[in-house]
């Protein structure tokens, strides 16, 4: 679909709106296809038309074997929906941060959102039966996601407070403080790793590489709405992020209330990333690669880039999860390995092709 | 149309502007000149509503400038700043169309596209619409941003009154012909009833196009008069700390000045 985008790129006058609309439609179709395919794959494989029929019949139908209905409705559908929502949230968070920092390399990991979430989660894993037991035990299986979410919000709030003076947020300070806070969180996380036993280490490793295993409707209803709200609200930022491309002063000259827009963007990113880390651990690469691909292939206008990132990010993560479930079956690979393994080479190929180094 | 009353701007303890007082009526081109660090860009930021003065007041069309919202201001004034960087690979068309984005106007997509193309032709960038702006030369980029600013400001006067165009060294990257073209456009805007304030380094270029020149030194106004008087006076030599040679071009026209030592 990326190639399709290139072919229809821009009318002769440089207005790429038509190409962008076509790309969005293609991406939406792609997401649907990938989702149906992903619901079908697994230990008991189902054909795409069977999946569609089972979905159309609704949960608890007696027109199909109960086992098939349960697999689709109770196991795979919530997992695929969670994957789609997380993929969309991470890609939108990446595109938003890149716009905010005016830097195509910005990533949720950089502003301390992910490291903060990771630190809180690792603390729960290692200290959950020790000093943190009174806090962790009553929360049961929700202790880890809640800790990750709170960690993300706290670190974002801290950074925002550091970088804001007299009602103005310095994006440069935010970035630098994020790197410092990330390193500090990393150091403490490392210390917890040093303290942990083998079982805890395995938990931590799986969690830091991310995974959608164990997704239930309950977990989806707990984490999904925050991410969905962030994704659906993101188009509000599009004009502002476009104007910010020229610089903060220039965005103000163009009529933008810059500070209000920055605050909204940061809250949106913290919510999206915090909830995603809470739901599935740290899944790298989606936030940086998806907006890049769309900019390279179609265009950088955020009115296109934000919804486009949501659709492509969702499709990519659902696909990655389907692969994670199948390539080493019956074992399951961490999804972060898959996203990096399929994303990075494709990305490099695109970069090389664009620079003409491959002669194509 | 624009009045400054004892305006001061401080950076920490240091006063970088002021106290400055003057009034600018609509319908003129005002050139701000002065040595590096004299406060020209700071003054322009104050006029743009971007920097709030710590002391004094700026009145824009009779109202306190601080009372204007960003979007209301964007409909009344446009700014061409010195920054030409665009962070992402936007097409020239998309960058120019940002001029319409901040302060939404009731125009259809087709009308906007037609205006953008007309504006690109006006800044001598016809056919550049589909180019990635990051691949343009500095001068081409500066003209693309000028087209954006002109799209934002639209007509020089509307039912709410005259508009304000602020240009911070708009010709710094341009060849001599495009320098003249750009300042002609600024002068046309003023002739149609708008107000143009332009920061320039080239004294002769400034004198050729400005109706009035403000010479700045150390954050204060050293001289505020018409170009002929300014370039004939000795304050220029004192402020720039260099002796000037003057080549007379006849009565009523400003002389050409150049450093005596050259």
CA distances from A232 to A77, A267, B102, B118 (A): 21, 14, 21, 36
pLDDT in tens, A273-314: 888 888 888 888 888 889 988 998 888 999 999 999 999 999
Nearest CA in chain A to B73: A255
Contact predicate A304/A24, CB 8 Å: yes
Surface of A (283-302) touching B: CB under 8 A: 295, 299-301
Which structure tokens are listed for A137?
């035990």
- What does the domain layout of chain A look like in residue ranges? 2-354
- The Cα A324–Cα A87 span in angstroms is 15
pLDDT in tens, B209-240: 999 999 999 999 999 999 999 999 999 999 99
CB atoms within 10 A of CB A134: 7
> What digits encode the pLDDT tens for the residues A207-217?
777 888 888 89
Compute CA distances A290 → A243, A313, A335, whole Å.
Answer: 21, 6, 16
d(CA A273, CA A276): 5
Distances in Å between the alpha carbon of A254 and those of A98, A241, A275, B147? Answer: 20, 12, 33, 13
Indicate the angle between helix axes B109-122 and B138-153, nearest 10 degrees: 130
Q: Mutate which of A255, A293, A296, A303 to test chain B, going by most B C-beta atoms within 10 A?
A: A255
Please tell me what DSSP assigns to residue B69.
-
Residues 6+ away with beta carbon under 8 Å from A76: A38, A39, A42
Q: Which of A4-8, A163-167, A201-205, A350-354 has the highest mean pLDDT?
A: A201-205
DSSP state of B221: E
CA dist list (Å): A288 to A340, B71, B254: 11, 32, 57
Higher local confidence (pLDDT), B212 or A350: B212
Chain A residues whose beta carbon lies within 8 Å of the beta carbon of residue B79: 249-250, 253
> Can you tell me the distance from the alpha carbon of B157 to that of B163, in angstroms, rounded to the nearest whole number?
6
**The CA-based dihedral angle spanning residues A282, A283, A288, A290, taken in that order and rounded to the nearest 10 degrees:** -150
Q: Can you read off the two tokens belonging to residue A184?
A: 């500090």
Determine the pLDDT at residue A119: 86
- Per CB-CB distance under 8 Å, the chain B contacts of A242 are 94, 98, 101
Contacts of B83 in chain A (CB under 8 A): 246-247, 249-250
DSSP 8-state symbol, B84: -
With an 8 Å Cβ cutoff, is B144 touching chain A?
no
What homologous superfamily is domain A2-354 in, according to CATH? ABC transporter involved in vitamin B12 uptake, BtuC (1.10.3470.10)
Parallel, antiparallel or unpaired: strands B2-11 and B14-24: antiparallel
Going by the DSSP 8-state scheme, the letter that residue A75 receives in this structure is I
Which band of pLDDT confidence, cut at 50, 70 and 90, is reported for residue A2?
Answer: very low
A:B CB pairs within 8 Å = 110
Per residue in B105-114, pLDDT (tens digit) is 678 888 899 9
Question: Mean pLDDT over residues A185-194, rounded?
Answer: 86
Chain A CB contacts of B11 under 8 Å are none
The residue-averaged pLDDT of A239-258 equals 92
**Residue A142 contacts residue A211 (beta carbons within 8 Å):** no
Contacts of B145 in chain A (CB under 8 A): 246
CB A324, CB A39: distance < 8 Å: no
- Give the separation between CA A301 and CA B126, rounded to whole angstroms: 22
pLDDT at B126: 93
Q: Is the pLDDT of residue B142 over 90?
A: yes
Q: Are A28 and A311 in contact (CB under 8 A)?
A: yes
CB A288: neighbour CB atoms within 10 A? 24
- Given a cut of 70, whether residue A360 has pLDDT beyond it is no
Question: For residue A338, what are the CA distances in angstroms to A108, A320, B43, B119?
Answer: 19, 6, 55, 48
- The per-residue pLDDT for A44 is 80
How many other CB atoms are there within 10 angstroms of residue A233's CB atom?
Answer: 16
Q: Which B residues in the span 64-103 are in contact with A, Cβ-Cβ below 8 Å?
A: 69-71, 73-75, 78-79, 81, 83, 85-95, 97-99, 101-103
- Which of B50, B98, B113 is closest, CB to CB, to A252? B50
Strand partners, B195: B164
Distances (CA, A) of B198 to A64, B30, B35, B206, B236: 76, 6, 15, 9, 18
pLDDT in tens, B74-98: 999 999 999 888 989 999 999 999 9
Q: What is the CATH number of the domain that holds B189?
A: 3.40.50.300
Total domains in the fold of chain B: 1
Q: Which residues contact A172 (CB under 8 A, 6 or more apart)?
A: none
Question: Per-residue confidence at A6, pLDDT binned at 50, 70, 90?
Answer: very low
A212 three-class SS = coil
Q: Which residues contact A138 (CB under 8 A, 6 or more apart)?
A: none
Q: How many CB atoms lie within 10 A of CB B23?
A: 10
Residue B259 is given by DSSP the state E
How does residue A110 score in pLDDT terms, banded at 50, 70 and 90?
low
DSSP, res B214: E
Nearest one of A353, A345, A273 to A313, comparing CA atoms: A273
Beta pairing partners, B258: B245
Residue A13 near residue B114, CB atoms below 8 Å: no
Q: Can you give the residue range of the structural domain that contains B234? A: 2-259
């Amino acid at each position: 679909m990326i190639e399709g985008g290139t072919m229809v790129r821009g009318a002769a006058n440089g207005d790429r709106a038509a190409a962008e609309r076509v790309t969005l439609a293609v991406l939406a179709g792609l997401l649907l296809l990938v989702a149906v395919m992903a619901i079908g794959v697994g230990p008991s494989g189902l054909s795409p038309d069977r999946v569609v029929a089972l979905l159309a019949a609704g949960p608890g139908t007696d027109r199909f074997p109960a086992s098939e209905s349960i697999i689709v409705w109770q196991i795979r559908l919530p997992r695929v929906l969670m994957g789609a929502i997380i993929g969309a949230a991470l890609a939108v968070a990446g595109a938003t941060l890149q716009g905010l920092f005016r830097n195509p390399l910005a990533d949720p990991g950089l502003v301390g959102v992910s490291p903060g979430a990771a630190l809180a989660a690792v603390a729960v894993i290692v200290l959950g039966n020790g000093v943190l037991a009174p806090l962790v035990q009553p929360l049961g299986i929700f202790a880890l996601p809640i800790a990750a979410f709170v960690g993300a919000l706290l670190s974002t709030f801290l950074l925002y407070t550091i970088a804001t003076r007299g009602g103005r947020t310095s994006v440069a300070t935010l970035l630098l403080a994020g790197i410092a806070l990330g390193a500090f969180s990393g150091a403490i996380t490392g210390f917890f790793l040093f303290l942990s036993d083998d079982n805890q280490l395995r938990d931590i490793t799986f969690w830091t590489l991310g995974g959608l295993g164990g997704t239930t409707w309950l977990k989806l209803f707990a984490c999904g709405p925050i991410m969905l709200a962030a994704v659906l609200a993101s188009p509000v930022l599009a004009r502002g992020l476009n104007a910010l491309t020229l610089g903060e002063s220039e965005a103000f000259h163009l009529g933008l209330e810059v500070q209000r827009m920055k605050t909204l963007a940061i809250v949106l990113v913290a919510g999206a990333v915090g909830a995603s880390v809470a739901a599935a651990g740290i899944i790298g690469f989606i936030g940086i690669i998806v907006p890049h691909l769309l900019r390279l292939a179609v265009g950088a206008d955020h009115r296109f880039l934000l919804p486009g990132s949501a659709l492509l990010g969702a499709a990519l993560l659902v696909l990655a999860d389907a692969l994670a479930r199948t390539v080493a079956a019956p074992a399951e690979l961490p999804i972060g390995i898959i996203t990096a393994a399929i994303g990075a080479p494709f990305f490099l190929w695109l970069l090389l092709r664009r620079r003409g180094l491959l002669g194509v | 149309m624009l009045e400054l009353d004892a305006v001061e701007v401080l950076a920490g303890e240091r006063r970088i502007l002021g106290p400055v007082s003057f009034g600018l009526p609509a319908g003129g081109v005002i050139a701000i000149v002065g040595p590096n660090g004299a406060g020209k860009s700071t003054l322009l930021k104050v006029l743009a509503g971007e920097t709030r003065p710590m002391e004094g007041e700026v009145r824009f069309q009779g109202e306190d400038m601080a009372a204007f919202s960003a979007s209301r201001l964007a409909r009344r004034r446009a700014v061409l700043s010195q920054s030409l960087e665009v962070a992402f690979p936007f097409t020239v068309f998309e960058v120019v169309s940002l001029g319409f984005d901040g302060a939404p106007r009731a125009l259809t997509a087709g009308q906007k596209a037609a205006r953008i193309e007309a504006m690109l032709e006006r800044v001598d960038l016809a056919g550049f619409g589909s180019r990635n702006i990051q691949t343009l030369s500095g001068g081409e980029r500066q003209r693309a941003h000028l087209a954006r600013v002109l799209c934002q400001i639209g007509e020089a006067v509307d039912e709410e009154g005259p508009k304000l165009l602020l240009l911070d060294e708009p010709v710094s990257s341009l060849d001599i012909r495009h320098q003249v073209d750009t300042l002609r456009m600024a002068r046309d805007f003023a002739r149609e009833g708008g107000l143009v304030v332009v920061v320039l380094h080239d004294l002769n270029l400034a004198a050729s196009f400005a109706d009035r020149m403000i010479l700045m030194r150390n954050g204060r106004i050293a001289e505020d008069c018409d170009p002929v008087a300014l370039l004939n006076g000795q304050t220029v030599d004192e402020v720039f700390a260099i002796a000037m040679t003057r080549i007379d071009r006849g009565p009523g026209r400003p002389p050409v000045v150049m450093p005596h030592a050259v």
